[in-house]
Chains A and B, each alone.
Chain A
């Protein structure tokens, strides 16, 4: 259908539209008009992707000078494939309606086999790729530097974007890395010696270029200034490489010294935490290495590898890693911390020294994106509370809105189980983890659920260790046996192939009616990527609140930094992180308006206002006050009632007028009024 959104003609490739899709497109248009950034939360399974694409494509066609490109960033390859499918449908609709074949070019970059040649990217109207191509400074430089300013960037499923930013700027160095780097450095030295005897001209040429201060010959660019590399601030990029690392031998000697210093640092017997400036001071004291040559390390190494014409770059990844680390540590004085651990906390007897150079400030990696592009949209199904994202990513959005699902029948049923049948409080708090009664009550909950819920149930635990403990206790108590009488049990493990096998068999069991329970972990692969539509997930049970391991030193440093810089309390941040994972997990079960599912939060802490308030709006509004602290029996009652209701036949005509609209209904006055009320400004 063709819709009119505040004067813009939008081609929507389906005959029916959800009211919240219209509302979403309205907010999006306003954000683009204001040429600013936006944070939009829309529940999963409500056609977010197609709304985004149709509105932005329509905007591009209407104002080709305002928005030249759409850059769509997604997390995983299956998501990229989904986006490309929707885009194809949209383009077919366009060509059917307007009669002309569209001259839109869309490009999708996924793995190495699908990489494009960069001139094409300049002409494409729509580019689809993964976050890392835009956020990771090492990759962004190669792939994204030619993108024009007047583009719209969309980050889909962006609830974890702060972790992505932090990971892209963090470096972990182990003893093994250093040993391999030593080999690399030796190889480099030998190669240089050989080349000097055979073809010294190449090295001389490189030397001359470095003396003159010329950068590597860049391809002539038609577009304006390329995206600044956050690894090196602009002024430094224009400076010449310092004289102490001009010749190849001096540079190799320099790397060798730095490497030896790192090896010496890793030989500690206790934990060391220091800031980047302290580290640099120590480097200077011990091996007389200045800050400036460290900054140019990465660039100098690249130039050297190119001059020596090394064929297989991947062999040199350890030394590249060390040079990246050197550049990062010398560039940023704030927002990073260095933690050296002689062994991992959980295995104190095994000597495994690691140097963690961790970024504590996600805004550093994403700042060039916000500054360079005129509109950046961050969207996901679980972005609550909305105001935390602008604070930790340090940007000012013109729109922050949260949308709910309009439902003809309430197809989700969130329940908070706080007590067992013996009134023992249920919780995954550290103190109560070994409590026999709590474990037995959890087992009872799962057992009862497996008796009444048809087809598949997915259960999420807070960690692998916790899951293993509980499952072992259940086995001893005989609960597993009872569950197996109702449904088969599958379990997720840290191994990828085992998990995919378990997943396959789980789906088979759900298909043929035997029914199954999948036990998995809240931060594992299953919770991040797999959808449990329809009968694959009729109930989702969250055992406990999925807090991250709070004793990790990196986390503690990060929390301290957030408290000092952004005035975010540690507790608030930990709760926010735990709740967004919980919301992600339960959101797996609902993938559309005809889908229905139970969402069971099995922990008494969920009833507290500070945790409940951090759930997305579209889950919160279906929680009634009476469902906040149920016992297992009451839960079973409510669940039975809900399931029986949902099992009644439900046709599309029932939805029309309420949660599904045709074009005529859309244009009626009352619907338009209702739509403007859907968007809740945060």
Chain B
């Protein structure tokens, strides 16, 4: 990049590395000083291709190839108009065709092919799809904001984690030091023989070690729900549509038999069925069992034989 020279004053670029090159809409470069000199009246013609240019259209050159600068400028302008997204199209193929169209337009404008037609096409498209363009513009800015938020959160999370681990290590180091100091103090002051004190100290040190080991194994706290949404992130959901449905009503089952109806549980003793069943002992009734239950089941079994086949 530094070996490019300004096409007009040629030498000045090499001698002055801080000099910037500027590009205009025609794709040709000029160094800052030359721009000042030539466009002192605000407008003029390009040195190499003679197209009429305005001073305000000069931008600092970012890339080595000025045509790329020009293309990027054109592309940004085109994309402001042609900003449909993949969900605006019924199929992937249609979306890809649309993308190809956009590329054609940018290509034509950059290489000065068929400029008039292309500009007309663009204006027509803009007129037809004004509302879609507006809607997508709003959506885009919202998405960008969300992305920035996410990145910020991620950074903060990283910082926090780092600080935490540092603090943890500090704490462990301090605990070890305290332990050693405690041993020295005890050896100095206490009356117990040194071997016991050493054994105690060893125990404490081992305990500390296991504590540290356990901490190392602690599971990383989850930061993300299973749906992929980060914890703590406010998710703006669309309001749920209210669905009204019929409440369910229970209707007991009615089965047609071709015989007499099955007697109910409370009628059994009156009708005399219970006489043919073993009476329930006091131990059975304690659990809630009555002979009527067994009888009723047997009767239902018998009556089920009446069902039409």
Contact = CB atoms under 8 A, between A and B. Distances in A.
A267 interface: yes
B75 A243 contact: no
B1 A243 contact: no
Nearest to B74: A288
A257 B68 contact: yes
Nearest to B78: A288
B139 to A, nearest CB: 16
Given A260-B65, A287-B72, A244 B92 contact: no
Given A278-B151, A281-B147, A567-B220, A243 B63 contact: no
A524 interface: no
Contact of B63 (A239, A261, A569): A261
Interface in B165-213: 165
Chain B CB within 10 Å, residue with most, of A267, A277, A281, A288: A288
B68 A244 contact: no
A30 interface: no
A240 B92 contact: yes
Nearest to B147: A281
B107 interface: yes
Given A257-B68, A257-B71, A288-B76, A244 B62 contact: no
Contacts of B220: 567
B165 A256 contact: no
Nearest to A563: B165
A242 B65 contact: no
Nearest to A210: B96
A264 B93 CA distance: 34
A133 to B, nearest CB: 34
Contact of A247 (B62, B75, B93, B103): B103
Given A261-B63, A263-B64, A288-B79, A240 B103 contact: no
A239 B92 contact: yes
Contacts of B97: 211, 243
Interface string A204-227: 000000010100000000000000
A564 B68 CA distance: 40
Contacts of A88: none
A511 to B, nearest CB: 51
Given A564-B158, A567-B216, A243 B96 contact: yes
Contacts of A567: 216, 220
B72 A564 contact: no
B72 A244 contact: no
Contact of A260 (B64, B75, B161): B64
Contacts of A257: 68, 71-72
A622 interface: no
Interface string B109-145: 0000000000000000000000000000000000000
Interface string A252-293: 010011001101100100000000011001000011100000
A519 B95 CA distance: 64
B100 A250 contact: yes
Interface string A321-358: 00000000000000000000000000000000000000
Interface string B54-98: 000000001111001001100110010000000000001101111
Contacts of A612: none
B19 interface: no
Contacts of A35: none
A244 B71 contact: no
B102 interface: yes
Interface string A632-667: 000000000000000000000000000000000000
A50 B135 CA distance: 69
Contacts of A256: 65, 68
A243 B64 contact: no
A243 B147 contact: no
Contacts of B306: none
Contact of B99 (A242, A260, A569): A242
Q: Is the interface of A mostly helix, strand, loop or mixed?
A: helix
Given A243-B95, A286-B62, A567-B220, A253 B71 contact: yes
B: interface residue count bin: 20 to 34
B147 to A, nearest CB: 7
A264 B151 contact: no
Contacts of A244: 99-100, 102-103
Contacts of B165: 563
Nearest to A266: B1
Contact of A243 (B62, B98, B162): B98
B19 to A, nearest CB: 15
A249 interface: yes
Contacts of B75: 287-288
Contacts of A264: 62-64
A246 B62 contact: no
Interface in A558-587: 560, 563-564, 567, 569
A291 to B, nearest CB: 12
A244 B75 CA distance: 12
Contacts of B95: 243
A288 B101 CA distance: 16
Given A244-B99, A249-B107, A263 B147 contact: no
A333 to B, nearest CB: 11
Contact of A250 (B63, B107, B158): B107
Contacts of B151: 277-278
Chain A CB within 10 Å, residue with most, of B72, B75, B76, B161: B72
Given A213-B93, A567-B216, A243 B103 contact: yes
Contacts of A242: 96, 99
Contacts of B158: 564
A258 to B, nearest CB: 10
Interface in A175-213: 211, 213
Given A256-B65, A260-B65, A264-B62, A240 B96 contact: yes
Contacts of B100: 243-244, 246-247, 250
A249 B68 CA distance: 14
A264 B100 CA distance: 27
Contacts of A247: 100, 103
Contacts of A211: 93, 96-97
Given A213-B93, A257-B72, A281-B147, A564 B161 contact: yes
B265 to A, nearest CB: 58
Contacts of B216: 567, 569
Contact of B93 (A240, A250, A287): A240
Nearest to B220: A567
A267 B92 contact: no
A380 to B, nearest CB: 26
B64 A250 contact: no
B252 to A, nearest CB: 52
Contacts of B147: 281
B154 to A, nearest CB: 8
Interface string B29-70: 000000000000000000000000000000000111100100
A267 B71 CA distance: 21
B92 A263 contact: no
Given A244-B103, A286-B72, A260 B96 contact: no
10 contacts: A241-B96, A244-B100, A250-B100, A253-B71, A257-B71, A257-B72, A261-B63, A267-B1, A288-B75, A288-B79
Given A244-B100, A244-B103, A260-B64, 16 more contacts: A211-B93, A211-B96, A213-B93, A243-B101, A243-B103, A244-B99, A249-B107, A260-B63, A263-B63, A281-B147, A286-B72, A287-B72, A288-B76, A560-B162, A567-B216, A567-B220
Task: In the A-B complex, list the 7 residue pairs whose CB atoms are closest, starting with the nearest.
Answer: A243-B96, A243-B99, A243-B100, A260-B63, A244-B99, A260-B68, A250-B103
